[in-house]
Amino acid sequence: MSEESGVSDWNPVEGLTIAIDGPSGSGKGTVAKMLADELALPVLDTGLLYRLTGSVALQRDVSLDCESDVAALVDDLLTDIDWTVDGVFFAGENVTSQLRNEQVGAAASQVAAMLSVREKLLGLQHLLAEKGCIMDGRDIGTVVLPNAPAKFFLTASVRERARRRWAQLKDDSDSSLEGVLAELKMRDQRDAERQHAPLKQANDAIGIDSTTLRVDEVIDRMLGVLERRKLIARSVS
Ligand code: DC
């Protein structure tokens, strides 16, 4: 984004979709937002849909072990969800900030393992991706947008990811770095080993290990790929 004008330096091709997948704490949310700013594209964080499902299941005492009950809950939620670039609105309220805690993250990981829940949330993701966007999650390159012309898979060492997550959480909770690390390892295992749409790099995705990279270095690599593929071009001023 050009600092003086607030106008993007880049023109994306019409309807460009970019998939960014990776494990918790890999930085994909931050990177997706920055790239979206650079390209003036909407960004959609798909983890929020699973987080909302997990959160409402906890509030309504829906058993996280019962797939049919959680699936019925999703049917109910879908009538009241508004999922926008500003986050998730439920019953008219932006609930995004309430969804970013470890308890909801753990519940989200459980409901995300359920095939019927994933299938029910797929239509909404397709609908919003239609006009072009950057979407981040776990299965965007493999399942949600398999034909996206640009796919990135962001990783970082588990210790570095735990350190980032802990730095985000520590003002609002008394969790220890070791506790966050243990939780992250458990979540990684559940997301990668689940039967349906497990976390895995799409064959045609470009892997970026961000353990020792700054966010702007990651963004530069992505812009380079997009430019070489002629998916973006510099604006002529
Ligand atoms: O990215 P996150 O931590 O907000 O995601 C919450 C959970 O949802 C996480 O356990 C993985 C799951 N998820 C998924 O299965 N598929 C997606 N496209 C996005 C998130």
Domain end point (choices 130, 145, 169):
130
- To test the pocket of ligand 1, the residue of 48, 136, 138 to mutate (highest count of ligand atoms within 8 Å of its CB) is 138
CATH number at residue 185: 3.40.50.300
pLDDT in tens, 159-205: 999 998 888 877 767 788 999 999 889 888 888 888 888 888 999 99
Confidence of residue 237 (pLDDT cuts 50, 70, 90): low
> Beta 150-155 vs 87-90: how paired, if at all?
unpaired
Same domain, 233 and 145: yes
- To test the pocket of ligand 1, the residue of 46, 103, 187 to mutate (highest count of ligand atoms within 8 Å of its CB) is 46
The residue whose C-alpha atom lies closest to atom 13 belonging to ligand 1 is 47
pLDDT in tens, 138-160: 999 999 999 999 999 999 999 99
Tell me the whole-structure pTM to 2 decimals. Answer: 0.92
- Which residue bears the tokens 């270095």? 217
Please, what's the largest Cα pairwise distance for the chain?
57
Domain end point (choices 78, 103, 130):
130
